[in-house]
Structure 1
Amino acid sequence: MMLLSGDRACCVISASSACGNSVGTPAQGSWSCSGVILSQSPGIVVCHGAIFCPFLLEEVIAADQGIWSQCSVLLANSFSPDIQIQVLCAAESRSKGNGKGVLGKDLGACSPALGFNPLSNQQGSPGTLRQHEAKLLMMVPCPEFQNTFSKVFTRAEQWHFCRSEDEQEHGALLDDLHYLHWFALLEIPDLNSPGIAQVSCVLAESLRKGDMLFACGSPFGSFCPDIFINTLSKGIVSNLAGEGNVLILTDARCLPGTEGGGVFVFSEDGFNLVGIIVAPLCWKANEWVGLTLVCSIGHILENVRSALVGSGSSMKTWWPPVQLVAKPVGKMAVSPGPAQHLLSAVVLVECGQVWGSGVVVSSRLVLTCRHVVNEASGVCVRVQHSPEKGCVLKGKVVFTTNDDSPYDIAVVELEESLLCFAKPVSATKFGAGIVASNTKDNSVGATYPHLNYSVPITVLQPAVLEYSRTGDLHGFQELNRANDRIRLVWRLQRKTTEVPHSKL
């Protein structure tokens, strides 16, 4: 996954209420997920409906036990009257260059010696994230998705799309085959921004297996959104099912909290919204399946339109101005694969029985991770110039960060100069360089293999240049003096802010 700069379509939705939920347990605290801003004027957001299930009124459930299969719409009066909904989204586009960081600050603002590019904005500077109060307009089902889903994902195959503790807490209300096909429409009154273009929505019927897709959401919902919001995952169409391809499976890696986020296809017209994430993770029997379940946006919009017409609600007055009509997908744009000469900059670093990857940043300098070299003084570096030609060089470890440093970095100097290698071009603003580790939740021992810690090259580049010119390691020593704020970012922690927990 990578950070998608400058995108304002993604948002994070949190919902809370002091009243009890439909199954008699308190709906205290906040549930959260991702969402997509369909329109800026008026401010309309679409997200998955699951986070609002705990706030259905008891009398609504009592009146119709088959609500999930029989209703065509649930209006706001079906939910707790004191439900509070917040939408968190980017206030404005992030920096577009000129030596600025992702927050629009000078790269040297936090650590001049390293040019540290801050990822977390604890001071709440303007131009990053903004919170809006929102109201629930309606929840609508997508029966076409439900019918297709029930045929493809049968109970006999033991598919699960939420954690067991969620099923126990909310009982039959969160039964897999009952709630997955519901979607919520929200209004943000103060989001009105005349002149800003609406999201372009396209029909999924033009998709084919293997087409490239981009999933955008906020992993873990409202947990650390200043770090995770607008997280982009690239993948392909793994499979399609149903009339008009209402059900889409993609291998674009998503994590809990991205449900309700958007799935986009890139065509000659640019990025177009083609679906909404229904379930970012799923299990078949007891085996995890790394696919993301998506519902076609075209079918969702058609069911919203039908619900507005059938309800006779005054809300349909805003539908014509929104003009959210899904159109056919234009000619697909093909993204070139990685060039072979760039791959030659990635090397294999071997230290006894331990090995890992490294990046060649100069003719005699390789960056890798501290845990790869493991306090060794010498390593072997395997360089693959081409599929047919490679070599093995010896190198000495000239620097490693301390064990308590948040930066897991080691510097290896080769005994011989590389005469032929593709020197990578360093990013002038935010750019991933060195992958340090997977993300792990120490409280439960869970590891998320598709969410990695990476050290931005903007942190390392000044030190690399200084050492290349003078042989002075002072710049790298600064990695051991990271301040508390940086340490909190790498631990995915905050100082005092209470963070609503994600629904999943």
Structure 2
Amino acid sequence: MMMSPLQIAECSGCVVTTSQTQTSHAGADPSRVPSDLCRGRSEQHVPRSEGDGWWSCSGVILDRSAGIVICQADVFFPFLKEPLSPSDLTVLSPDDFPPDLWIRVECPLEAKIDAEQRSRSTPPSQRSGLGLVPVSKPQSQRIQTDADLLMLVPCPGFQMAVSTLFRKEDGWVFSNEEEKEDGEFQKELAHLHWFAVLKLQSPLPKAKSRLDIMKSSGLLKGSTVFACGSPFGSFYTDIFLNTVSKGVLSNTAGDGNVVLLTDARCLPGSEGGGVYLLENGTLYLIGIIVAPLCWKANEWVGLTLACSISQIINDIIKADIAGKRELAALEMGQRIVDRPKRGARPSEHLMAVAVLVDSGQSWGSGVLLKSKLVLTCRHVVRHSSKVSVKVHNANMTSGNHYAIQRFHPVRGNVVFSTHESSPYDIAIVQLEEDISGIPEPVLASSYYAGEDVCIVGFGALGERCGPSVTSGVLSSVISVGDGPVMLQTSCAVHGGSSGGPLFAAHSGELLGIVASNTKDNNTGATYPHLNFSVPVTILRAALDRYVEFGDLRSFGELNKAGLAVRDVWRLQRSPENVFQSKL
């Protein structure tokens, strides 16, 4: 029986574990040690040096028959003989590491479909226990084999794009909480653009020998993607080996889209895992996970950072190193395919109506309803009477090495904004010139909890990149009386997303505009996947009257919302005899 596309991803995923010596850990099994030991730290084992300990991450088997594996290189840097300067882009060879560097790769022995098929054919009397399928995968389904390091290769294009997008002064951090406390993330920032190429010492059952690879330059934001990695690395791979998550390609940046951002949720240890795109029934590897977690100014962004696999392979092909001979027969460059050219996808139309609104004091997002009409939030315009509305044009680029996303600025007049006391955070901006060629969004008239939705806006990255798209479901529709007054979604929302459009994924209808995500006032933690939008049905009659007659008076009704509506948007009931909300 043929494997399904996602089973191909699971069969190609692996865990890479590194250690200074195998003998120094005789009898130890990194799949059974505490998770912090997988980062070379444990209360039970105090390292004598930085390289003395287990380090692990996820990886991708590019070719099972040839035994070629690629992973993020951070787990190799503790063992480097000489420190590496941040500007050093020289390819590293095995000679740059101690001779007793030990590398182990753990991966599925066979396709899950084969094991599952045999399990179903086993008579019930021969099944263990109560006939229930065990939670953990039997040991026989996994294989452990040693591997040799062929090279560590940098991706300069990725480094250049990341340094442009994620500036230190903005407070970007790519790490987990423990690493932030230990200062380990400082080293990881210098190693994000490095990747390791390995060769297995023992052959693997073929299953599907080679992964199909797609060039990143043709990727479209909003496309459904899958991430496959092993949370916590080598810790308890019986359960965590090759966990799959689903999301969309939230954003791309850099020359050839070398930087990929997805809202597919990953955990520490997934570094080195694969990001895949399903196209016409074929699963394509498009990226390698670099950082599963990121913060901006202590706000959890909720996106996973990845590097284009086609760009990494191009850098491997350019490398001048002895280990390259092991790869020559694979003809890796010839295996990269272009994405089929098609007409505009629905997600492209949705992203076209998202605009950046800059009040001069702060910036946020907005949605272009008509050629001269923008809907955004009151707190985005910040009491300004005039704002700059920047319309993104993805087709305009400049520069020899880094494609700069261009914006067309248009002056706008704030013709209405709700009072500070109003629960509805709304502002209307009239542009001073027409924006042509952008389809008008269709306003929704009904809502269905659980339906697939997406949010488009300029959260986190602002105008350094085009609009980002995040996916989720309409978690809840909160009504007062007969009408909805708040929409809650599971999409990731960040600072700068306010005012951005919320769309129904299948119909493309505009459901509302983002007003806020959630912050715990007790701890200061933000929750990007718990957020709130103003339903467009509340605004529809006033918008129609303004478009037809230029009459703004109907918007004034938003300032007269009753107590029940105010309680909803305060995220608590009236204060009498209740606990004060923590949100």
2:71 is paired with a residue of what secondary structure? strand
Letter aligned with residue 153 of structure 2: V
Measured after TM superposition, the shift of residue 236 of structure 1 is: 0.4
- Distance in 1 (CA, whole Å) between partners of 2:16 and 2:65 is 18
Measured after TM superposition, the shift of residue 258 of structure 1 is: 0.6
- Determine if the alignment matches structure 1 residue 90 to structure 2 residue 108: yes
Measured after TM superposition, the shift of residue 344 of structure 1 is: 11
Structure 1 equivalent of residue 93 of structure 2: 75
Measured after TM superposition, the shift of residue 189 of structure 1 is: 2.3
Measured after TM superposition, the shift of residue 196 of structure 1 is: 4.6
Higher mean C-alpha displacement, 221-230 vs 45-54: 221-230
Return closer, same or farther for 1:105/1:210 CA change in 2, 3 Å cut-off: farther
- Distance in 1 (CA, whole Å) between partners of 2:287 and 2:315 is 14
Return closer, same or farther for 1:235/1:106 CA change in 2, 3 Å cut-off: farther
Q: CA RMSD in A?
A: 4.0
- Determine if the alignment matches structure 1 residue 153 to structure 2 residue 166: yes
- Determine if the alignment matches structure 1 residue 184 to structure 2 residue 196: yes
| Aligned equivalent of 2:20, options 17, 29, 43 | 17
- Distance in 1 (CA, whole Å) between partners of 2:304 and 2:65 is 30
| Aligned equivalent of 1:120, options 126, 129, 136 | 136
What fraction of aligned residue pairs are identical, expressed as a percent?
40
- Distance in 2 (CA, whole Å) between partners of 1:158 and 1:170 is 14
Letter aligned with residue 8 of structure 1: C
Measured after TM superposition, the shift of residue 195 of structure 1 is: 8.7
Structure 1 equivalent of residue 336 of structure 2: 326
- Which runs of 5 or more residues in structure 2 are unaligned? 25-39, 41-46, 347-447, 452-481, 483-524, 530-583
1:187 is paired with a residue of what secondary structure? strand
Tell me, yes or no, if the aligned pair for 1:260 and 1:277 is still in contact at 8 Å: yes
| Aligned equivalent of 1:262, options 261, 265, 274 | 274
Residue by residue over 1:346-386, the C-alpha shift from the partner in whole angstroms, topping out at 9 and shown as x without a partner, is 9xxxxxxxxxxxxxxxxxxxxxxxxxxxxxxxxxxxxxxxx
1:222 is paired with a residue of what secondary structure? coil
- Distance in 1 (CA, whole Å) between partners of 2:19 and 2:60 is 19
- Distance in 2 (CA, whole Å) between partners of 1:249 and 1:11 is 22
- Distance in 1 (CA, whole Å) between partners of 2:105 and 2:279 is 29
- Determine if the alignment matches structure 1 residue 51 to structure 2 residue 75: yes
Alignment of 1:328-347 (within 5 A): 328-330=338-340
- Distance in 1 (CA, whole Å) between partners of 2:249 and 2:284 is 15
| Aligned equivalent of 1:28, options 52, 55, 73 | 52
Give the structure-2-normalised TM-score: 0.51
- Distance in 2 (CA, whole Å) between partners of 1:30 and 1:102 is 38
Tell me, yes or no, if the aligned pair for 1:94 and 1:102 is still in contact at 8 Å: no
Residue by residue over 1:277-323, the C-alpha shift from the partner in whole angstroms, topping out at 9 and shown as x without a partner, is 0000111121211100010001000001111xx23x26325323353
- Distance in 1 (CA, whole Å) between partners of 2:298 and 2:103 is 34
- Distance in 1 (CA, whole Å) between partners of 2:149 and 2:118 is 38
Q: Which has the higher contact order (CA 8 A, sep 6+)?
A: 1
Letter aligned with residue 148 of structure 1: A
Measured after TM superposition, the shift of residue 76 of structure 1 is: 0.8
- Which runs of 5 or more residues in structure 1 are unaligned? 336-342, 347-387, 389-445, 451-504
Return closer, same or farther for 1:327/1:174 CA change in 2, 3 Å cut-off: same
Give the structure-1-normalised TM-score: 0.58
1:209 is paired with a residue of what secondary structure? coil
Measured after TM superposition, the shift of residue 73 of structure 1 is: 0.3
| Aligned equivalent of 2:262, options 227, 247, 250 | 250
Tell me, yes or no, if the aligned pair for 1:5 and 1:230 is still in contact at 8 Å: no
1:148 is paired with a residue of what secondary structure? helix
Measured after TM superposition, the shift of residue 50 of structure 1 is: 0.5
2:288 is paired with a residue of what secondary structure? strand
Measured after TM superposition, the shift of residue 185 of structure 1 is: 0.3
Letter aligned with residue 198 of structure 2: L
- Distance in 1 (CA, whole Å) between partners of 2:225 and 2:56 is 24
Measured after TM superposition, the shift of residue 326 of structure 1 is: 1.8
Measured after TM superposition, the shift of residue 42 of structure 1 is: 1.3
- Distance in 1 (CA, whole Å) between partners of 2:116 and 2:6 is 18
Return closer, same or farther for 1:92/1:238 CA change in 2, 3 Å cut-off: same
- Determine if the alignment matches structure 1 residue 316 to structure 2 residue 325: yes
Structure 2 equivalent of residue 133 of structure 1: 146
2:213 is paired with a residue of what secondary structure? coil
2:112 is paired with a residue of what secondary structure? coil
Tell me, yes or no, if the aligned pair for 1:95 and 1:102 is still in contact at 8 Å: no
Structure 2 equivalent of residue 400 of structure 1: none
Tell me, yes or no, if the aligned pair for 2:151 and 2:323 is still in contact at 8 Å: no
Measured after TM superposition, the shift of residue 97 of structure 1 is: 8.7
Measured after TM superposition, the shift of residue 172 of structure 1 is: 8.6
- Distance in 2 (CA, whole Å) between partners of 1:303 and 1:213 is 24
Structure 2 equivalent of residue 226 of structure 1: 238
- Distance in 1 (CA, whole Å) between partners of 2:121 and 2:259 is 37
Answer with 1 or 2: which has the greater Rg: 2
Displacement over 3 Å in runs of 4+:
3-7, 95-108, 163-173, 192-196, 322-325, 343-346
- Distance in 2 (CA, whole Å) between partners of 1:32 and 1:146 is 23
Measured after TM superposition, the shift of residue 163 of structure 1 is: 3.7
| Aligned equivalent of 2:155, options 142, 156, 162 | 142
Measured after TM superposition, the shift of residue 171 of structure 1 is: 6.1
Tell me, yes or no, if the aligned pair for 2:150 and 2:323 is still in contact at 8 Å: no
- Distance in 1 (CA, whole Å) between partners of 2:117 and 2:205 is 29
Alignment of 1:399-414 (within 5 A): none
Letter aligned with residue 14 of structure 2: C
- Distance in 1 (CA, whole Å) between partners of 2:188 and 2:337 is 33
